[in-house]
Amino acid sequence: MIKLVRGFKDILPTETALWQYVEATVRELLEDFGFAELRIPILEKTELFARSIGAGTDIVEKEMYTFTDRKGDSLTLRPEATASVVRAYIEHKFYAKDPVCKLYTIGPMFRRERPQKGRYRQFYQINAEVFGLHDPRADAELILLLMKFMNRLDLSGIVLHINSLGCHKCRPHFKDDLKTFLANRSEQLCSDCLRRRDENPLRIFDCKVPTCKETMTDAPSILDRLCSKCRSHFNTVQDVLKMSHIPYETNHRLVRGLDYYTRTTFEVLAGALGAQDAVAGGGRYDGLVKALGGPDQPGVGFAIGVDRLIELLAGQVQGLEKRSHLFIAALGVRAQDRAFQWVQDFRMQRFRTEMDLEDRSLKSQMRRADKLEASYVLIVGDRELDEGAAVLRNMTTKEQERVPLRGLVGFVVSRIKPTTTGRNNEDRR
């Protein structure tokens, strides 16, 4: 038997209702916040990711699925969406019409990380990006949108961490501070971090090696090094969050695993997820559009890890809206012919309807209805056809009633109301 590739997974029919619910909820919210959907390809030129995410990051150094195609081009399965969204923003000159542009995209990403709970080699992201706004309220509004989404899903036990990584003016000073701090701590650093110390010392905050982690507990804070513009930008982000009653913690170690960030960064963490606790992350990337050959337009965005979100929800969701499901048990050729037509008519009325296409006994048809978890069964045989009325059985209450064959579909539809067992969509906070 040929099995799944390690780190990849199937999302089974028993799980997809929750995925659809999450996607429908986020689409609705994103559209209310003025976002439009962009669909981007899964494959891009490798250079796009190397130049945006950064050559010294784990993603680009170790985790990309890269191959050379027949023409010799180096192509990569996208490890994230921001780079592609920026490419599309530039390529289609969205900025010419209006530099302010809000785009979202939903789909799979690929990173060749070591698979474990909450970490897959193909995983899904909901991605939101805002271009053309320097104002810190754009950052705060995105965070607000993210938290509103979490709230709509009724997620509990999550915390929001925020930080500022400064700009091209103040960050170099901080990097120097960090290099000085690390200068005589070589023995405590792993070989990767020794290399990072010279090239990209901020990355060391992300290292999972215990000695590196311990070393960094005493490291200087970037928040003490922000220039006045970055400080004021970060203060406003926080003011708006406070004004919007969004609880948060500042975390000066939050450098994120991608190099394009400037100023605000943020993550939403859920303790219940264990080691892979980041359910969403994002930040500002003011130099990226220009670095990829576009105009000097700022950007800010986030991505939600859908697989992790679903894991959290699976433990918290009680039930989703369930559509009524009708089964028609037809006995005899005449009844089956009529039933076949009714099945199509019920489906046109948006009722999930099934019948048995093999000529089986009533008992085995009822067993099948049970297996399919039908809410109602419509029973019809030669006798019912002659009498002009079928039997409608409520599978929950076991009550039965006779329903006229004339105008049957309309009559039954008015009898069967969709059963809502699920959550409501109201914001709770």
Binding residues (CB under 6 A) for ligand HAM: these are 80-82, 111, 113, 118-120, 123, 125, 127, 129, 257-258, 278-283, 301-303, 305, 307-308
> Residue 245: CB partners within 8 Å, gap ≥ 6?
429
Q: Which is nearer to ligand HAM, 106 or 258 (CB)?
A: 258
CA 385 from centroid of its chain's CA atoms:
51
> Which residues share a beta bridge with 107?
125
Measured distance CA(117)–CA(272) in Å, rounded: 12
CB closer to ligand HAM out of 134 and 383: 134
Q: Least distance (Å) from ligand HAM to the CB of residue 102? A: 12
Please state the closest distance from residue 182 (CB atom) to ligand HAM, in A. Answer: 24
Phi and psi based region of residue 340 (left: phi greater than 0; alpha: psi -120 to 50; beta: remaining): alpha
Residue indicated by tokens 């076949």: 340
Assigned token pair, 337? 């012919």
Specify the residue, 303 or 330, whose C-beta has the smaller distance to ligand HAM. 303
What type of residue is 5? V
For 145, residues 6+ apart whose C-beta sits below 8 A from its C-beta are 29, 30, 33, 128
Q: How far is the CB of 25 from ligand HAM (least distance, A)?
A: 17
**Cβ-closest position to ligand HAM:** 305
Nearer to ligand HAM (CB atom), residue 41 or residue 220: 41
CA atoms of 148 and 146, how far apart (whole Å):
5
Q: What is the closest distance, in whole angstroms, from the C-beta atom of residue 124 to ligand HAM in the complex? A: 8
- Rounded to 5°, the CA angle 425-315-24 comes to 35
- For tokens 């809000």, the residue is 102
For the bound state, the minimum distance from the C-beta of residue 355 to ligand HAM, rounded and expressed in Å, comes to 41
Q: What CA–CA distance (Å, rounded) separates 290 from 131? A: 12
Smallest gap from Cβ 79 to ligand HAM, in A, equals 7
Chain position carrying tokens 């809410």: 375
Q: Compare residues 81 and 403 and give the one whose CB is closer to ligand HAM.
A: 81
User: Minimum distance between the CB of residue 265 and ligand HAM, rounded to whole angstroms?
Assistant: 8
Q: Which is nearer to ligand HAM, 125 or 215 (CB)?
A: 125
Residues found in the chain: 429
**CA atoms within 13 A of residue 159's CA, in its CB half-sphere:** 10
Task: Rank residues 127 and 353 by Cβ distance to ligand HAM and give the closer one.
Answer: 127
Do β-strands 158-164 and 101-110 pair in parallel, antiparallel, or remain unpaired?
A: unpaired
Q: How far is the CB of 273 from ligand HAM (least distance, A)?
A: 9
Burial class (CB in 10 A: 0-12, 13-18, 19+), 262: buried
SS3 content of the chain, % helix, strand, coil (to 5): 40, 20, 35
Q: Is 172 helix (H, G, I), strand (E, B) or coil?
A: helix
β strands within 252-293, DSSP E: 262-270, 278-284
Please, what is the minimum distance in Å from the beta carbon of residue 130 to ligand HAM? Answer: 9
Query: To the nearest whole angstrom, how small is the minimum distance from the Cβ of residue 31 to ligand HAM?
Result: 18
Nearer to ligand HAM, 8 or 181 (CB): 8
**Cβ proximity to ligand HAM, 277 vs 345, nearer residue:** 277
| Closer residue to ligand HAM (CB): 41 or 410 | 41
